[in-house]
Structure 1
Amino acid sequence: MPEIRRSADRYVTESPDVTTFHSFSYGAHYDPQNVGFGPLIAINEENVAPGAGYDAHRHADVEIVTWVLEGALDHEDTTGHRGTIRPGTAQRLSAGTGVEHAERNASATEPLRFVQMMLASEHLDEPDYDSVDVSPEPGVLTPAVSVSAPAELFVLHLDAGQSVTVPGAPRSLVHVTTGSISLDGETLEAGDEARLTDGAAYDLSASGPADALIWQVTR
């Protein structure tokens, strides 16, 4: 059976302008039973007020993957990349030997919501950046940006009544971002996760429009 983790059970970090929901131990939140899933070590849902965000801060030895759900994210890093990321673009920053990046809500009036995921990285060189425009076909697992880790990220959109079979993998994680998705009789709402370790294929279905991020861990 999959391990189901509910949205309401996530750790929460709050500041005046940013609220973050953490799927795994992160920052001041430490649970030795929930420090990662294969190479995945963070899935953070960031809710950022207009004009707010994070000033430049440093990372090393991690893959940082960003997927915007609502609004627009201004990104700048010491690899020289800067720009605005909107829904439909997956961004990856391989921190390597060390990189600084800053992230802010690009709007002075509208909220920003995005998912930022981190993985233990196999990229040991200078930092590297990539972004990919993703247009998921309904009912099809659509590859997103590649990472230097034994894992693959897929974006899934299901229309009402659709289903999809996710191929077997040593580990698989489903993170629902909008709507409701059914898995083995369990209903997953936005923010819920299913973590599977039996290596078998499984089916996802939806009675209404729904979206999810799916990690397939290959070893």
Structure 2
Amino acid sequence: MREVRRSADRFLTVGDGTVTRHSFSYGAHYDPANVRFGPLVAINVEHLAPGSGYPAHRHSDVEIITWVLEGVLRHEDSTGIAGDVGPGVLQRLSAGPGVQHTEVNASATDPLVFVQMMLASDHDGDPEIEQRAVEPSPGVLVATVRVHAPGRLHVATFRGGETLRVPPAGRHLVHVTRGDVMAGGEGLGAGDELRSDEGGPLVLSGDGPGEALVWSLDG
């Protein structure tokens, strides 16, 4: 089965200087039919006003993958790691039995937009953090960080006219972050998602500039 979920139909949370669109049940939002997709349990698109963010809060038993679209995210966690993350760098935080982190917009003048994804984790050791620069290559699936979960994340970018093939997997989820992308014959705009459990290869293409986060899931 293939399902398209549009950006405007996602759950919405508005806070003090924060606006979040949720792909799955999260916080006060609950839909028993939309709790997870394989090991994926959250895809949140965060919009933070200058200087705004989230004070220290705790996560456990999840992989937290962060991809900044615009601005600079200031991250600090209970492992002692602190620093800034900007566009083109993917961050993985494996929470293990528990980790606290703080996330704020590092700028006093510019907005921040980032995608934060969470997967149910197989990691039961100490919390881990990794950051990796991702160099876009139009028409190519670019590998990113490894996760402690049955899934693989790639970044797909397009300038116009490229087509690429995503190898078979038990499930695929394509989340478009910029522009317009065709996925499995479905037209997707920024914030839209395609979920498929058909298992076979998936074809992506773009007639103009575009970017998508592509999950191949085995769980």
TM-score range, shorter chain: over 0.9
Q: Percent identity?
A: 57
Cα distance in 2 between the residues matched to 1:123 and 1:183: 31
CA RMSD of aligned residues (A): 0.8
Cα distance in 2 between the residues matched to 1:218 and 1:119: 12
| 3-state SS in 2 of match to 1:135 | coil
- Alignment match, 1:10: 10
Letter in 1 for 2:143: P
| 3-state SS in 2 of match to 1:8 | helix
Letter in 2 for 1:32: P
Cα distance in 1 between the residues matched to 2:5 and 2:215: 15
Moved more, 107-116 or 130-139: 130-139
Cα distance in 2 between the residues matched to 1:166 and 1:184: 10
For structure 2, list consecutive stretches of 5 or more residues without a partner in the other structure.
none
1:18-53 C-alpha deviation (Å, 9 max, x unpaired): 000000000000000000000000000000000000
TM-score, length of structure 1 as denominator length:
0.98
Cα distance in 2 between the residues matched to 1:138 and 1:28: 38
| 3-state SS in 2 of match to 1:35 | coil
For structure 1, list consecutive stretches of 5 or more residues without a partner in the other structure.
none
Cα distance in 1 between the residues matched to 2:19 and 2:32: 23
Aligned pairs for 1:77-88 (under 5 A) are 77-88=77-88
Contact 2:16/2:52, CA 8 A, preserved across alignment: no
- Alignment match, 1:65: 65
Task: Tell me how far 1:163 sits from its aligned partner.
Answer: 1.0
Cα distance in 1 between the residues matched to 2:35 and 2:72: 29
Cα distance in 1 between the residues matched to 2:7 and 2:95: 28
| 3-state SS in 1 of match to 2:8 | helix
Aligned pairs for 1:29-48 (under 5 A) are 29-48=29-48
TM-score, length of structure 2 as denominator length:
0.98
> How many residues are matched?
219
Cα distance in 1 between the residues matched to 2:97 and 2:184: 42
- Alignment match, 2:95: 95
Task: Tell me how far 1:218 sits from its aligned partner.
Answer: 2.1
Letter in 1 for 2:204: L
Cα distance in 2 between the residues matched to 1:136 and 1:25: 31
- Alignment match, 2:180: 180
Cα distance in 2 between the residues matched to 1:29 and 1:74: 26
Task: Tell me how far 1:180 sits from its aligned partner.
Answer: 0.4
1:95-121 C-alpha deviation (Å, 9 max, x unpaired): 001110000001000000000000000
Cα distance in 1 between the residues matched to 2:185 and 2:202: 12
| 3-state SS in 2 of match to 1:24 | coil
